[in-house]
Amino acid sequence: MPRSDHCPHCGKELQGPRNPLPTVDIIIACAGRGLVLVKRRFAPLGWALPGGFVDYGESVEAAAKREAFEETNLSLTDLQLFGVYSDPKRDPRRHTISTVFTAMALEPDQLRGGDDAAEARFFQLSGLPDNLAFDHAGIVRDFSRRSAKSFGI
């Protein structure tokens, strides 16, 4: 489908295909503590899995590690592909495709919010906040069904 939008900087009409934007989300699990959620600083507000947009020239694995560190101050170990989520309505701002990873924190006591995250905390699966942002409630539900036990949560 051709683009019908304009450059936000110069106003010129953009040409070429209009494609979904690639993103990553990371399920950071810690035995006995639960999984990490971040409180979003910008709209859409609410709690979410750490994640964000993949930069040009960056692999999805590198983006996951970068976004996790920027938003949670955590370095990751055992990064594994969990799934791909692509519902065009998953992000109210625009169509995105998220590559979702699971990982464990190297130093969980270093957890703190940063960058786009006003706060970062561990949550038990039984005590998650209501109305997670984007499609993250579904992602966490899939994780709970398929993988949570192997992470000790």
Q: Which two tokens stand for residue 25?
A: 């989300």
User: Could you list the pLDDT tens digit for every one of the 153 residues in the chain?
Assistant: 444 567 767 888 877 778 999 999 999 999 989 999 999 999 899 999 999 999 999 999 999 999 999 999 999 999 999 999 999 999 999 999 999 999 999 999 999 999 889 999 999 999 999 989 999 999 999 999 998 888 888
Helix, strand, or coil here: 47? Answer: strand
CA atoms of 115 and 2, how far apart (whole Å): 33
pTM over 0.75? The answer is yes
Q: What angle do CA 72, 77, 82 make, to 5 degrees?
A: 85
State the CB neighbour count (10 A cutoff) for residue 30. Answer: 18
Active-site residue list: 119
Beta-carbon neighbour count of residue 127 at 10 Å? 8
